[in-house]
Structure 1
Amino acid sequence: MPMRQDCKHFESRTYATGETVRKCNLDLAPEAPWRCPDDCPAYARRLADVNWAHGTLVTPPTPAEPEGEGIAELLDEAEDIVNAVGPEVLAELEAERRRNAGLLGRVRARLRRSP
């Protein structure tokens, strides 16, 4: 099923280059992010547009669905790359936190010794 533009989880953003991104904020169809799952359990009709900035009154037409096989595999490979980097990024953040905590402890100790 194509993206339901009347769903409260649907988001569309057009960039200065003219490229438009349409997506579901819940990512319920990761194998086909340009589609809504059939009988989506999270579909909820949008009731109001609060604090939204609208550029034009007409939403650009939805592009044709990508053709070809291997799209799901490509998305799986991209997810694997991101997941592989995750532990490394977390380790770097933890090391930085430890360095900052050690520095803060040394500063506090010097302030206590100061007259």
Structure 2
Amino acid sequence: EEPGPPPSEPATRPISWEEINRKEPTMPMRENCKYFESRSYPNGDTVRKCDLDLAPEAPWRCPEDCGSFAPRLADVNWQHGSLVTPPTPPAPSSVGEDPSIAALLDAAEDIVNEAGPRIRTEVDADRARAAKQKRWKFWKR
């Protein structure tokens, strides 16, 4: 039996494309798409998403055949400073393999979308009530 490499040195071997594609998604989020948005918050959290909601596996990947992809033209030839998009977090092993995740996210989105118009109506009513109360009536002191 031949001795292997010392424990401090990993054995090197060629990596197949199948292994690469298993570890990394085949189409990562297209940061050069005009519909890609990244927002950082003061607590360090970052949101990476498709503004058209066409990437169900965001922030890890876009659909490979996305028909709405359009290159971002506003920042062509710009040089970015230190405020650049942070790196994508590592993708969980279940991305792309577990359909229940997409179903759960769709259900959560439906709940938020259903509540949106009701909340908007309440806010508009509150604003109208506040504006009506602040109106100056010159005949009253």
Range into which the TM-score falls when normalised by the shorter chain: 0.5 to 0.7
- CA–CA distance in structure 2, aligned partners of residues 15 and 48 of structure 1: 23
Give me the TM-score of the superposition, normalised by structure 1: 0.62
Give distance in 1, aligned partners of 2:128 and 2:84: 51
TM superposition outliers: structure 1 runs of 4+ over 4 Å: 13-20, 50-53, 56-59
Q: Counterpart of 2:30?
A: 4
Partner Cα distance (2:66, 2:123) in 1: 37
Instruction: Tell me if 1:64 matches 2:91.
Output: yes
- Which of the numbers 27, 38, 57 marks the counterpart of 1:32? 57
Tell me the matched-pair count. 110
CA distance in 2, matches of 1:15, 1:92: 28
TM-score by length of 2: 0.54
Asked if residue 81 in structure 1 is aligned to residue 107 in structure 2, the reply is no
Q: 1:5 to 1:84 in 2, by over 3 A?
A: closer
In 1, the alpha carbon distance for the partners of 2:83 and 2:129 equals 49
Task: Give the partner amino acid of 2:64.
Answer: D
RMSD in angstroms over aligned alpha carbons?
3.6
The one-letter code matched in structure 1 to 2:72 is: R
Percentage of identical aligned residues: 48
- The structure having more radius of gyration, on CA atoms, is 2
Extract unaligned runs of 5+ from structure 1.
none
Unpaired runs of at least 5, structure 2? 1-26
